[in-house]
Chains A and B, each alone.
Chain A
Amino acid sequence: MRRPGRDDTPDRLYTLTGGRTRSGPDSPFDLVTLVVAESEPTTGMQSEHVAILRMAQTPIAVVEVAAELGLPVSITKILLSDLLAAGRVSARHPRTSALPDPDILEQVLVGLRSL
């Protein structure tokens, strides 16, 4: 059970997302969007949603959620979109624009130097 999804057939992935096959171009999630749970899991909730809410008790990036679930990033984004729409998670999107903010770059340098 450590890595469900790895050897799964596309049919199972299809079922996981309730038949939806597209997260769509309007998906707000970046690979490094940080997700935070806003509620506790409830009974009857899809097991992947439960797992996400548990791991997002502290901020966790979309890519970490995907790795922990053992699911492709695109499927993970669909699951997260459901939770976001239901208000069960909030999303902290990266503050990057077309060009990196010089102040952020300076903060990155300071952080790296103190490693």
Chain B
Amino acid sequence: MSAARILTPADADPVEEHVAALAAAVHGPARVKARMIEEIRDGLVETAAAHEEEGMPPSAAARRAVREFGTVEELVPGWQRELTVAQARHTARAAAMAFPFLLVCGLLVHAVGEGWGLRLLTVLLAAVAGVAGVLAAATPAVTGILARRVALPPGLPLAVAWTGTATAVATALATLGLVVASALAREWPVTALAGVLAAVAHALVAGPARACRRYARLTAA
């Protein structure tokens, strides 16, 4: 007696099953990933349609399109590498957005600048703004126009991730320092405003940097 065969999604639509498997296996910025998935689906559907035009039954055409497309194991490294680079660029854009907040924050703290604590914060904010500026400017160039001539260093996304993380940690410390300073300083409205700016900078960079760390580890694995 033969066992009853359980129908799987692959029986219903091998193309959709393959798209779902690839979508589950790769990780990256939502918009870039959505575009990739849409292109995958489009490519598979068109390949299957071409095989149907050659006279193949629809289910066989779909299975052949999936076979020609490549397995999840074959495709994921290339897809993930590109998504990780996209996340590194996204982190650099976040750093670019944080840069003006850090600059104004640093100037406010410098203007108040009484006591060693606030002077130390000024130095910290200047350093963080510098790091964010370099990250924002260098990453698009290194992963873009410069990569035409020089191969992208494999460790670059991880370096971007940790630079972004360092920026996020420093802005969190600055926010904390400014909250304490606001409680003690005479010029508390200025330090409080600076604290808000540092918190905004932290919120902009922390998420993308964390995601970049995660994707960079996936690429390295």
Instruction: Decide if A and B are genuine partners.
Output: no
